[in-house]
Amino acid sequence: MNIGEAARRSGLPAKTIRYYEEIGLLRAPRSGNGYRRYGEAEVHQLAFLHRARSLGFTIEDCRALLDLWADRDRASGEVRALAETRIAEIEAKIRELQGMRTTLKRLVHACHGDHRPDCPILDELAGEGATSRAS
């Protein structure tokens, strides 16, 4: 099948598929005339990559996961370790986002939101707010 069909079946844009080929994450067999020809195995790999990326795994994580998936002698502990690392990264990001939300809520609460020109939100962004002065 051509790249358009592989894209449709895997859920990935053709541009992403070309990128994965460019970085060596996927190898698509070429026909005699040089066109990419995708089979079921490549579409399955692309769908695998699509799901892995949707869970936030990095390209290098995906490379490792593909290798582990292909290795029938793998230890599932390696896969689990990658997933646990990803969970820790997600939890750190959640804490960071919660801190951002707390700061923004405090700033919105401090802003009168009326006709006056003074604005604690802009002051904070300009480095003139109370949070900046306390640092």
CATH number of the domain to which 39 belongs? 1.10.1660.10
Would you call 12 exposed, middle or buried from its count of C-beta atoms within 10 A (0-12, 13-18, 19+)?
buried
**Domain assignment of residue 126, yes or no:** no
Task: State percent of the chain over pLDDT 90.
Answer: 80
Which value, in Å, is the radius of gyration of the alpha carbons in the chain?
23
Check residue 35 and give its pLDDT.
82
**Domain assignment of residue 116, yes or no:** no
Asked if 22 contacts 55 with a C-beta cutoff of 8 angstroms, the reply is no
Q: What is the mean pLDDT of residues 39-57?
A: 96
pLDDT range class, residue 129, cuts 50, 70, 90: low
Q: What is the pTM of this model?
A: 0.77
Report the amino acid identity of residue 108: V
Asked if 34 contacts 41 with a C-beta cutoff of 8 angstroms, the reply is no
